[in-house]
């Protein structure tokens, strides 16, 4: 299978998962929208960024909590799996992933864990936070530390397989994390993520549960209204204030980055399309 065909198939399967998320959300009145690189792709490419290897969907916290409650019983469990720290004991992140059963997208970070390794779409809750850089940075620092304690205690590895210092640090942090009861860590993470959801000062919104905590923060009114836009062969929601969000995040977002930056970001060690195509090893080709 040629490289372009593999990329196209990966995008097709990500969209398959995304459309199942959309179906469940629309059936249950759950608000969702594309976020991070998927939002940029929707606006600039009317679909995936050609070198993107994942899909990001965001939901306001209340909608996210409803989604993780209803999705498992509204989907075909033979095809889709909702992965989070409630459904999988060794999962080390505070948001969710919807994964495609029978496939593999193995990143180095999860290679030593007993977790589902399938192709996935990230589903992140959006939480409120004041437009105050000191508060934003303090919250982000706390969540970075708590997140590392939690995921490294679960056996996650750093994303870079060649960075020996990071791997030593992960072992040390994981050992410390195991000294803290799991429930205590979880409760503290959720408390920090949701701290300002009922605070009248909180006029901004952010995906505090993901790796972009403190980096992609925007006014909450920019996502109060949603618009449906073409995305590949489908139509998906994005925030009506997408222009301001993308300008704040990327600057001149219509300008393509240099060729050297047009690369896949997750560096999968193995990709297996399972029943959807012949299994392949991605070492080298997807880097």
Whether 225 has a pLDDT exceeding 60, the answer reads: yes
What confidence score (pLDDT) does residue 231 get? Answer: 98
Tokens of 246: 């993308």
Mean pLDDT, rounded, for 188-216: 90
Q: How many residues does the chain have?
A: 287
Q: What is the mean pLDDT of the chain?
A: 92
The domain ranges of the chain are 3-125+209-276
122-177 pLDDT tens trace = 999 999 999 999 999 999 999 999 999 999 999 999 988 889 999 999 999 999 99
Q: Fill in the DSSP letter of residue 162.
A: T
Among the residue ranges 121-135, 187-201, 269-283, the one predicted with the least confidence is 269-283
pTM of the model: 0.93
Tell me the pairing of strands 56-60 and 120-129: parallel
Task: Please check the confidence at residue 214 and state whether its pLDDT lies above 80.
Answer: no
Bridge partner residues of 60 (DSSP): 126
Beta strands 204-206 and 120-129 are antiparallel
Q: Where are the alpha helices (DSSP H) in 105-226?
A: 133-153, 164-177, 182-193
Percent of the chain topping pLDDT 70 = 96
Instruction: Write down the pLDDT at residue 4.
Output: 83
Alpha helices in 51-132 (DSSP H): 61-74
pLDDT of residue 29: 98
- Provide the β-strand partners of residue 218: 205
Confidence of residue 279 (pLDDT cuts 50, 70, 90): very low
pLDDT for 209: 85
pLDDT at 182: 96
The pLDDT of residue 44: 97
Residue 57 is encoded by which pair of tokens? 């969907």
What is the distance, to the nearest Å, from the Cα of residue 258 to the centroid of all Cα atoms in its chain?
Answer: 24
pLDDT at 285: 45
What tens digit of pLDDT does each residue of 28-81 get? 999 999 999 999 999 999 999 999 999 999 999 999 999 999 999 999 999 999
pLDDT tens, residue by residue, 249-261: 999 999 998 888 8
**Residue 87 pLDDT:** 97
**Confidence at residue 1, expressed as pLDDT on a 0 to 100 scale:** 64
Cα–Cα dist 14/142, whole Å: 32
Q: How far apart are CA 9 and CA 243, in angstroms?
A: 29
CATH architecture for residues 3-125+209-276: 2-Layer Sandwich (3.30)
Question: How many Cβ atoms sit within 10 Å of the Cβ of residue 283?
Answer: 12
- Taking 60 as the threshold, does the pLDDT of residue 271 lie above it? yes
What's the whole-number mean pLDDT along residues 227-244?
97
């Amino acid at each position: 299978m040629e490289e372009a065909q593999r990329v196209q198939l990966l995008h097709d399967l990500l969209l398959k998962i995304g459309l199942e998320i959309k179906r469940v959300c629309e059936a249950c009145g759950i608000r969702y929208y594309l976020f991070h690189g998927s939002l940029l792709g929707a606006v600039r490419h009317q679909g995936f960024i050609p070198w993107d290897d994942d899909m990001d969907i965001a939901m306001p916290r209340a909608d996210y909590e409803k989604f993780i409650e209803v999705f498992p019983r509204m989907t075909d469990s033979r095809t889709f799996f909702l992965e989070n720290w409630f459904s999988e004991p060794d999962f080390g992140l505070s948001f969710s992933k919807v994964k495609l059963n029978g496939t593999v997208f193995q990143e180095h970070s999860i290679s030593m864990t007993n977790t589902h390794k399938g192709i996935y779409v990230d589903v992140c809750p959006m939480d409120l936070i004041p437009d105050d850089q000191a508060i934003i940075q303090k919250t982000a620092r706390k969540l970075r530390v708590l997140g590392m304690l939690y995921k490294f205690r679960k056996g996650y590895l750093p994303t870079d397989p060649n960075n020996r210092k990071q791997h030593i640090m992960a072992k040390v942090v994981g050992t410390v994390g195991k000294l803290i009861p799991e429930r205590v860590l979880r409760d503290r993470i959720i408390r920090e993520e949701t701290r300002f959801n009922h605070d009248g000062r909180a006029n901004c919104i952010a995906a505090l549960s993901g790796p972009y905590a403190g980096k992609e923060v925007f006014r909450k009114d920019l996502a109060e209204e949603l618009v449906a836009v073409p995305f590949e062969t489908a139509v998906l929601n994005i925030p009506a204030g997408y222009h301001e969000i993308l300008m704040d995040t990327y600057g001149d977002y219509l300008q393509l980055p240099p060729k050297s930056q047009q690369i896949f970001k997750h560096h999968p060690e193995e990709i297996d399309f399972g029943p959807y195509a012949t299994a392949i090893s991605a070492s080298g080709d997807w880097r």
